[in-house]
Structure 1
Amino acid sequence: MNRLLKMRSISLVLGLMLFFSLSIANAQEVVQLSLEESIKYALENNVEAKNAQLEVLISKGIIGENRAAGLPQINSTVEMTKNIQPPLLILPAEAGGAIGGGDDGNPGMGGPDDITVIPFAVNYQSTLSVSVEQMIFNGSYFVGLKAAKTLKSLTEFDKEKTETDIIEATKKAYFTVLINNERKELVAANLGRIKELLKETEALHAEGFVEKLDVSRVKVQLNNLQSEFDKVQAAEEISKEILKVQIGMPINMDIVLEQNITDIHSLTEIESLLSNNGYRRVEMDQLNTNLELAKLDLKNNQVQYMPNISAFGTFQRVTGAERFNTVFDSDRWFSSSFAGLRMNIPIFDGLRKSNLVQQNRVKIRQLENQKYYLEENIELERHQANITLRNAITTLAVQEENRELALEVFEMTKIKYQEGVGSNLEVVEADSALKEAETNYFSALYDALIAKVDLEKALGIL
């Protein structure tokens, strides 16, 4: 009996621990986000943002790699050789006799009468060498250093451009969730109104004041609204998932937005945007940097007509023996060393460098044309974004007024119906008009928010 109670107690404790651990886990999976927090999270966790940061680190490594070419290059070699069939020196017989070779057991290996064959190496040889080479002058080296630093600047601009795109996409995804939240709440409120209307209509039908047809009309309207609510709810969930993917948040986490439309949709901010002339655009910085790289590439090909100068030196220790056990004896090691200067002078390469220079000049002209085209497009983009936002704000004001009027018409029609001076059909039609006005309003609101983001991007203030 005591054992049974003990087992039950353990099971209860384990159950409580599991419950609280699950509760804590669920609590940890819910994250509240404002717009600024979403942007900050995206810049830290979005895959493209991470890769852009890594590209900057790679460019730093490229600078170090190019700088290393101008530092002393030191190499060491250790070599051990067993001459299985040593190389041979073949001499005339007279020469072999003069140096003591031939068939008498001296170095010569014998052979036909007219030649003497002498081994050119011992059985075992070993070499230890250290070589040093130092660049003294190389025009490409100094151009390469500057190009590597310019490449680092380009990767930083690329990173800035990536972050700008991420901010733009995050804002639009955040606004989409907000719009769907507002639509969901509005459709839920409409559902409540229609349910109340259905209840009243059924009561009037039970008293014999309205026909069965009136009840059916309201039920159709209710079913349509319920279907719309389900669609809006699904759209809200999907937009949340898109936002999580955009900012790099795990799918298994849940998010709750801290802000609403009124916190973001500020007329004062919009007016300041419309009067803003804009700032620098990172796209122009990218193009200018690419143009600078093209000019450095041209300079690199031009300096290759100049000679390269370098200093070198080598120190060697060599040994040899007929038997392996004596190859490392100290008295068998001999030293040699040499040093010098080397100058490579380009003379003729089949006009390769000349053709490369011509390609570089054409590339520079292309980039200059692109720069002019980009400048014109930036001005056009700012102008279009400004006009689009102005039109969106005007349309939004009209749709907001239509929504208020449609709501007023619905309320008045409903009152007339309740007082018996209006028809059920008028109420249903007024409700349909209200839904259409609300749909148009949210569509205009979304367009205005997106146009605002587009103008911020065009002005270079994202």
Structure 2
Amino acid sequence: MKRIKLIAVMLSSIFAGNYLYAQEVLTLQEAIKYALKNKAEAKKSALELENAQYQIDEVRGSALPQINASGSLKYNAIIPEMAIDLGGEIITAKMGQPWNSAAMVSLNQQLFNQSIFTGLKAAKTTREFYQINAQLTEEQLIEKVSNSYYDIFQTQLQLETIQTNLDNTTKTKNVVEGLVQAGLQRKIDLDRLVVAINNLESQKQQILNAQQLKENALKFAIGMPIENDIQLPEETFDINASIALEDMDIDNRTEVILNRKQIELYELNKTAKVADLYPKLSLGADFGWNGFGQGFPIGGDFMWPKTSGIGLNLSVPIFTGGATKAKIRQADIQIRQAQVTLEDTKLGLSLANENAKSQIRNSLLIVNTNRSNVTLATEVLNDTQNNYGNGLATLTELLDAEKALADAQSNLNTSLLNFKVAEIQLIKAKGNLKSLVNE
């Protein structure tokens, strides 16, 4: 029996150790770093950036010498004949041999092709565009993870408030239960306390369920397997009132930089369309053999005369029916549309910044008010508990005081979360979201 107990203790220790190991304590910074490495958006952004380099290699390759080799083998089952007039006498002669073969190596080098040169610049600019886009993706991911993280904290604070209220009510219920047994208190008061406790237990379970759903949402937001267990550290919401006084530089926002880079790409696209009006000059050269004979090329009666040539190829566009001009105008429209988008983006960022500042100021006022309410509600509850113990307050007054404290604490938690959400928006408006990773 002792051996069985010892094995049971060892197994329980192992399972407990595994459970503790599976629990991951996530700070906000760790959650963001995890998301930047594992979330699909971050991975896709990295792949787009990698693909941009391949696009540059593709365009650069078209500007380098193009070397191709070709070959052919043909058997003429019926050799074509040609009629020849020899002084009024018509004779026919076979033209060719039964077997023909060719082997050729050719080279083509672009000497002047404005489209290729412009394409190379566009490819490099595209890489820069994806670099900026990757940064924007990271910022969007940081914002999403931060909001999800603080949402869990609000639920956790609500759970703490419910638990405190539940502990207070349970203590009162235990005292009243002893008084009822002694015949000094009405049973209806005990029943009311039991109902209150049951209601609090129900609220607690609802909050626990909501917390689990929000934890799953956070795990999805950072790309963590849903089956992993996480635990948030015990933190307090620091209030930094001075953040609302900091200035914002719209020109340094990633969205603005990205829009400007997009305009640059559209301008290069227009330049590429204009390049279709330029002449194109290339160098061409080839070297090879044109073989023919009566038998198969290998081992038969076959000749291999050499052939070679070198020359310049010039293409000058003269008239395209207005198609090129239409393409240029379409490219110009894209540039103007992007400029309108840029101005609208700036306006939206200014609006977001002012709204965030206003929300910060309002949240500060509400947080201070709710903190005062919590302090006052705590004093009222303490006085009511003393009065109830001395028979100077009713059970209804006691329950109302407990509920008032719970409501005040809940309001404080909500206002703290609202402040942190507004703070994130203000940090975003200032273009400093990455500072959350290094805090």
Q: Is the 8 A contact 1:45 1:249 kept in 2?
A: yes
* 2:116 counterpart residue number: 141
SS in 2 for 1:69: helix
Q: Is the 8 A contact 1:125 1:327 kept in 2?
A: no
* 2:203 counterpart residue number: 228
Equivalent-residue separation in structure 1 for 2:187 and 2:63 (angstroms): 95
SS in 2 for 1:246: helix
Amino acid across the alignment from 2:404: A
Q: Does 1:386 align with 2:357?
A: yes
* 1:246 counterpart residue number: 221
* 1:373 counterpart residue number: 344
Superposition deviation, residue 164 in structure 1: 0.1
**What's the CA shift string for 1:328-356, capped at 9, x where partnerless?**
55962111111110010001111011111
Equivalent-residue separation in structure 1 for 2:8 and 2:64 (angstroms): 68
**What's the CA shift string for 1:182-203, capped at 9, x where partnerless?**
2222222221111111111122
Q: Is the 8 A contact 1:80 1:124 kept in 2?
A: yes
* 1:5 counterpart residue number: none
CA 1:323–1:23: 2 relative to 1, 3 Å: farther
Equivalent-residue separation in structure 1 for 2:88 and 2:68 (angstroms): 40
| Greater Rg by CA | 1
Instruction: Give structure 2 stretches of 5+ with no counterpart.
Output: 434-439
Q: Could you tell which deviates more after superposition, 279-288 or 313-322?
A: 313-322
Amino acid across the alignment from 1:39: I
Q: Does 1:318 align with 2:318?
A: no
**What's the CA shift string for 1:63-90, capped at 9, x where partnerless?**
111111110000001222233444x234
Equivalent-residue separation in structure 1 for 2:416 and 2:363 (angstroms): 8
Superposition deviation, residue 33 in structure 1: 2.1
Equivalent-residue separation in structure 2 for 1:95 and 1:428 (angstroms): 132
* 1:91 counterpart residue number: 83
CA 1:96–1:33: 2 relative to 1, 3 Å: farther
* 2:244 counterpart residue number: 274
SS in 1 for 2:392: coil
SS in 2 for 1:437: helix
| Alignment of structure 1 residues 15-414 onto 2, 5 Å | 26-86=19-79, 88-91=80-83, 101=92, 108=93, 118=94, 120-260=95-235, 262=236, 265-267=237-239, 270-279=240-249, 280-324=252-296, 326-327=297-298, 332-414=303-385
Superposition deviation, residue 246 in structure 1: 1.1
Equivalent-residue separation in structure 2 for 1:170 and 1:451 (angstroms): 14
Equivalent-residue separation in structure 2 for 1:95 and 1:440 (angstroms): 117
Equivalent-residue separation in structure 2 for 1:409 and 1:302 (angstroms): 80
Q: Is the 8 A contact 1:53 1:159 kept in 2?
A: yes
Q: Is the 8 A contact 2:49 2:131 kept in 1?
A: yes
Superposition deviation, residue 129 in structure 1: 0.6
SS in 1 for 2:63: coil
CA 1:248–1:328: 2 relative to 1, 3 Å: farther
User: TM-score, structure 1 length as denominator?
Assistant: 0.86
Superposition deviation, residue 359 in structure 1: 1.4
SS in 1 for 2:105: strand
Paired residues, number: 428
Q: Is the 8 A contact 2:159 2:204 kept in 1?
A: yes
Superposition deviation, residue 327 in structure 1: 4.0
Q: Could you tell which deviates more after superposition, 28-37 or 294-303?
A: 28-37
Superposition deviation, residue 259 in structure 1: 4.5
User: TM-score, structure 2 length as denominator?
Assistant: 0.90
CA 1:97–1:416: 2 relative to 1, 3 Å: farther
CA 1:189–1:15: 2 relative to 1, 3 Å: closer
Q: Is the 8 A contact 1:39 1:247 kept in 2?
A: yes
**What's the CA shift string for 1:290-341, capped at 9, x where partnerless?**
11111111111112211000000111212223332x5455962111111110
* 1:460 counterpart residue number: 431
SS in 2 for 1:169: helix
Equivalent-residue separation in structure 1 for 2:17 and 2:273 (angstroms): 64
Superposition deviation, residue 432 in structure 1: 2.1
Equivalent-residue separation in structure 2 for 1:71 and 1:348 (angstroms): 29
User: Over the residues paired in the alignment, what is the CA RMSD in angstroms?
Assistant: 2.6
Amino acid across the alignment from 2:64: L
CA 1:305–1:348: 2 relative to 1, 3 Å: same
Q: Could you tell which deviates more after superposition, 40-49 or 271-280?
A: 271-280
Amino acid across the alignment from 1:342: N
Equivalent-residue separation in structure 1 for 2:141 and 2:424 (angstroms): 12
Equivalent-residue separation in structure 2 for 1:39 and 1:174 (angstroms): 10
Equivalent-residue separation in structure 2 for 1:427 and 1:62 (angstroms): 73
Q: Is the 8 A contact 2:180 2:186 kept in 1?
A: yes
Q: Is the 8 A contact 1:34 1:259 kept in 2?
A: no
Equivalent-residue separation in structure 1 for 2:300 and 2:234 (angstroms): 85
Equivalent-residue separation in structure 2 for 1:145 and 1:18 (angstroms): 65
SS in 2 for 1:125: strand
Equivalent-residue separation in structure 2 for 1:372 and 1:25 (angstroms): 55
**What is the percent sequence identity of the aligned residues?**
28
Amino acid across the alignment from 2:22: E
Equivalent-residue separation in structure 2 for 1:225 and 1:95 (angstroms): 123
Q: Is the 8 A contact 2:294 2:301 kept in 1?
A: no
2:389 is aligned, of 412, 418, 423, to 418
Amino acid across the alignment from 2:317: P
Superposition deviation, residue 225 in structure 1: 0.5
